[in-house]
Amino acid sequence: MSKIDPRTGATTEENPKFLKTGDAAIVKIKPVRPLPIETFKDFPEIGRFALRDMGTTIGAGVVLGITEKYDPNKK
């Protein structure tokens, strides 16, 4: 969604086409299955994440917000 300066937290680029090693960014992630997670502000113990691909860590960070998928069968 946006690339940020890790020291100040200010946005440096909106909708970047790619991220390089060492870049900090705000991204939207869509997991392939349900995931027990909370925002870092509300519950720091489970508000962190690591993204791994083929045994290699490709990203890590904290959860700033959660958008829940609408489920019409959920009561």
- At 15-37, the pLDDT tens digits run 888 888 888 888 888 877 777 88
Q: How far apart are CA 68 and CA 14, in angstroms?
A: 24
For residue 49, the SS3 value is strand
pLDDT score for 70 = 59
Beta bridge partners of 62: 48
Same structural domain, 3 and 21:
yes
Q: How many CB atoms lie within 10 A of CB 53?
A: 8
For 38-48, what is the mean pLDDT?
87
**Total-model pTM:** 0.64
Give me the number of domains the chain comprises.
Answer: 2
Q: What percent of the chain has pLDDT over 90?
A: 0
Virtual torsion, Cα 36, 41, 44, 50, nearest 10 deg? 60
Same structural domain, 47 and 15:
no
Contact 3, 25 (CB under 8 A): yes
What residues make up the domain containing 44?
Answer: 34-75
